[in-house]
């Protein structure tokens, strides 16, 4: 049986770095996927120049039909997946504050798409497989200052409806232009991205519970501030450095690491510690810019 690894949104950035790293170490097939065919095939050509040979398939995580086509392709060709890295994401704007349409797109790509992937792709993940959701420091609970939502997202019997309500609460507030930005850390900067990534980190723990019977590990992680198009080249790490911890988590981490929120240095953090100093700070961008100059 051929082992299969899949990385979503991997034609550039961290996803591309993860594919490259897996191709060097993983004993099996590695899929590079992208929303845009041209960009995906160009990324494959770059790896081919390095002597690396990924498989490619178009995959738009926000398009149900695209996800179904990808699912059917994998099912027919390989029968299942051993490693799934949910990396597809967008920040969508150079501004720290987004309009409603931008916020909606950010929530759809960074959070709601994972529900489609969970429904259609997760059943292909084989026993003892590993799933990694690429979150962010924006995805730690300390990014949320609204105590009602902190408590609701922290409850032991958390359900997907709670997380969906959280995302909808934010979008409704933006749409009605009455959202209180004090409910988000750092004066409410990049609020949509924070809400989406907090939702992604939260659902990771529900996914772990659902897949426990197959001994599949599901974790989320903050890859650090990485020099990518999404960060407009600002960051402390290049994509190869940023790929090291994700690759560790899907290949080398102990089987006991499940449902965890992991920092870029492999440290497992208490996601529920909403008073911690783990939230994203826009001042970090200035520090990074100064360091790279």
Cα 291 to chain centroid, rounded: 26
Catalytic choice (56, 193, 237, 261): 193
Catalytic, 193? Answer: yes
> How many helices, marked H, and strands, marked E, lie in the chain?
11, 8
Q: What is the CA radius of gyration of the chain?
A: 18
Is residue 148 within a helix (H) or strand (E), and if so which, with residue range?
helix 147-154
Burial class of residue 239, CB neighbours in 10 A (0-12, 13-18, 19+): buried
Beta-strand relationship, 261-262 and 81-86? unpaired
Active-site annotation, residues: 193
């Amino acid at each position: 049986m051929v082992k299969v690894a899949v990385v979503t949104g991997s034609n550039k950035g961290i996803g591309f770095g993860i594919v490259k790293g897996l191709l060097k170490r993983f004993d099996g097939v590695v899929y590079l996927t992208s929303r845009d065919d041209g960009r995906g095939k160009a990324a494959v050509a770059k790896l081919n120049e390095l002597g690396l040979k990924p498989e490619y398939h178009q995959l738009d995580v926000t398009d149900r039909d695209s996800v179904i086509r990808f699912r059917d392709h994998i099912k027919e060709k390989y029968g299942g997946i051993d490693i799934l890295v949910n990396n597809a994401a967008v920040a969508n704007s150079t501004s720290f504050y987004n309009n409603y349409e931008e916020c909606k797109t950010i929530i759809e790509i960074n959070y709601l798409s994972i529900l489609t992937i969970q429904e259609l792709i997760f059943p292909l993940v084989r026993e003892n497989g590993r799933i990694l959701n690429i979150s962010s420091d924006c995805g730690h609970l300390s990014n949320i200052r609204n105590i009602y939502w902190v408590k609701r997202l922290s409850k032991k019997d958390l359900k997907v409806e709670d997380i969906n309500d959280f995302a909808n609460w934010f979008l409704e507030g933006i749409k009605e232009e009455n959202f209180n930005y004090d409910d988000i850390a750092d004066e409410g900067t990049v609020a949509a991205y924070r809400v989406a990534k907090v939702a992604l980190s939260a659902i990771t723990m529900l996914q772990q519970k659902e897949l426990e019977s197959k001994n599949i590990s599901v974790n989320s992680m903050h890859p650090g501030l990485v020099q990518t198009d999404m960060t407009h080249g600002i960051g402390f790490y290049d994509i190869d450095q940023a790929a090291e911890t994700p690759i560790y988590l899907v290949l080398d981490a102990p089987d006991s690491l499940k449902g965890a929120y992991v920092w870029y240095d492999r440290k497992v953090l208490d996601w529920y510690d909403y008073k911690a100093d783990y939230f994203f700070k826009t001042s970090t961008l200035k520090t990074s810019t100064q360091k790279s100059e």
